[in-house]
Amino acid sequence: MSFDYRDTPGNTDWFIHDRFGMFIHWGVYAAAGRHEWLKKMEQMTDEQYQRYFDHFDPDLYDPAQWARMAREAGMKYFVITTKHHDGCCMWDTALTDWKVTNTPAGRDLIAPMVEAFRAEGLKVGFYHSLIDWTHPHYTLDGIHPRATDDEYVRANQNRDWDKYVEFLHGCVRELLTNYGRIDYLFFDYSYSSRPAEGLLGPGKGKDDWHADELIALCRELQPGIIINDRTEVPQDVTTPEQVQTPAALRDEDGKLIIWESCQTFSGSWGYYRDQLDWKSPETIIKLLIDGVSKGGNMLFNVGPNGRGQFEPRAVERLQAVGEWMSLNGRSIYGCGPCDLTPPPDARFTRNAAGDRLYLHMFSWPFKHIWLPGLAPRVDYAQLLSDGSELKIVPSDRVSHRLPAGAEDTLVLEIPVQKPPVEVPVIELFLK
Rule CB under 6 A: which residues touch ligand GLC? 25, 36-37, 188-189, 241, 262, 269
Q: How far is the CB of 303 from ligand GLC (least distance, A)?
A: 10
Q: How far is the CB of 297 from ligand GLC (least distance, A)?
A: 13
- Nearer of residues 190 and 351 to ligand GLC, judged by Cβ: 190
Reduced to 3 states (helix: H, G, I; strand: E, B; else coil), residue 225 is coil
Q: How far is the CB of 237 from ligand GLC (least distance, A)?
A: 12
Helix axes 161-178, 211-221, angle to 10 degrees: 20
CA distance 412 to 382: 10
Identify the H or E element spanning 328: helix 312-328
Q: How far is the CB of 30 from ligand GLC (least distance, A)?
A: 13
- Nearer of residues 130 and 338 to ligand GLC, judged by Cβ: 130
b/e per residue 258-268 (b: at least 16 CB within 10 A): bbbbbbbbbeb
CA distance 24 to 271: 10
- Nearer of residues 41 and 119 to ligand GLC, judged by Cβ: 41
Q: β-pairing, 425-430 with 378-383?
A: antiparallel
Q: How far is the CB of 13 from ligand GLC (least distance, A)?
A: 24
CA distance 156 to 137: 8
Reduced to 3 states (helix: H, G, I; strand: E, B; else coil), residue 80 is strand
b/e per residue 81-92 (b: at least 16 CB within 10 A): bbbbbbbbbbbb
DSSP secondary-structure letter at 372? T
b/e per residue 392-402 (b: at least 16 CB within 10 A): bbeeeebeeeb
| Residues whose CB falls within 8 Å of the CB of residue 146, separated by 6 or more in sequence, listed in order | 43, 45, 133, 140, 152, 153
- Nearer of residues 23 and 164 to ligand GLC, judged by Cβ: 23
Torsional class of 379: left (φ above 0), alpha (ψ -120 to 50), beta (otherwise):
alpha
Q: How far is the CB of 220 from ligand GLC (least distance, A)?
A: 25
Residues 386, 427: contact at Cβ < 8 Å? no
CA distance 341 to 332: 18
Q: How far is the CB of 235 from ligand GLC (least distance, A)?
A: 15
- Nearer of residues 144 and 360 to ligand GLC, judged by Cβ: 144
- Nearer of residues 130 and 426 to ligand GLC, judged by Cβ: 130
Q: How far is the CB of 25 from ligand GLC (least distance, A)?
A: 6
- Nearer of residues 35 and 347 to ligand GLC, judged by Cβ: 35
CA distance 422 to 323: 9
Q: How far is the CB of 324 from ligand GLC (least distance, A)?
A: 24
- Nearer of residues 37 and 164 to ligand GLC, judged by Cβ: 37
Q: How far is the CB of 186 from ligand GLC (least distance, A)?
A: 7
- Nearer of residues 27 and 337 to ligand GLC, judged by Cβ: 27
- Nearer of residues 314 and 392 to ligand GLC, judged by Cβ: 314
CB neighbours (10 Å) of residue 48? 12
Single-letter amino acid, residue 92:
D
